[in-house]
Amino acid sequence: MPLTQLLKHNRYEFSPLPERPQFEWPDGKKLALCICNNIEVFSFLAGLGSDSSSVSAPQTTRNYAWRDYGNRVGQWYLFDLLEEFGFPASHNINSLLIEECPQIVARIVRRGDELIGHGRTNAERQDALSEEEERQLIVEATSALRNYSGIQPRGWLGPYLAQSRVTLDLLKECGYSYVLDWPADNQPFWMRTRSGPILSVPYSVEVNDSPALVSRQQGAADFEKMMIDQFDEMLLQSKKWSLVCTIVIHPFIIGQPFRLRALRRAFAHFANHRTDIWLTTPGAVAAHFAKVMPPAM
Q: Supply the pLDDT for residue 4.
A: 82
Beta partners for residue 33, in sequence order: 245, 279
Q: Give the Cα separation of 247 and 202 in Å (integer).
A: 11
Of the candidates 83, 95, 118, 35, the one whose C-alpha atom is nearest the C-alpha of residue 285 is 35
Would the pLDDT of 58 be above 70? Answer: yes
pLDDT confidence of 251, banded at 50, 70, 90?
very high
Q: Give the Cα separation of 32 and 122 in Å (integer).
A: 28
Q: Supply the pLDDT for residue 56.
A: 85
Of the candidates 134, 200, 146, 145, the one whose C-alpha atom is nearest the C-alpha of residue 170 is 134
| Contact call for residues 49 and 214 (beta carbons, < 8 A) | no
21 φ/ψ angles, rounded to the nearest 5 degrees: -65, 150
Q: Give the Cα separation of 278 and 27 in Å (integer).
A: 8
Q: Give the Cα separation of 142 and 155 in Å (integer).
A: 10
The predicted model gives 142-152 an average pLDDT of 96
Quote the pTM value. Answer: 0.96
| Contact call for residues 276 and 235 (beta carbons, < 8 A) | yes
Segment 255-271, tens digit of pLDDT: 999 999 999 999 999 99
Q: Supply the pLDDT for residue 193.
A: 98
Q: Supply the pLDDT for residue 55.
A: 82
The predicted model gives 102-109 an average pLDDT of 97
Q: Give the Cα separation of 50 and 72 in Å (integer).
A: 17
Q: What share of the chain in percent tops pLDDT 90?
A: 96
Segment 182-203, tens digit of pLDDT: 999 999 999 999 999 999 999 9
CATH number listed for the domain at residues 24-44+57-292: 3.20.20.370
Q: Supply the pLDDT for residue 1.
A: 58
What is the DSSP secondary structure assignment for residue 58, as one 8-state letter? P
Of the candidates 216, 218, 246, the one whose C-alpha atom is nearest the C-alpha of residue 230 is 246
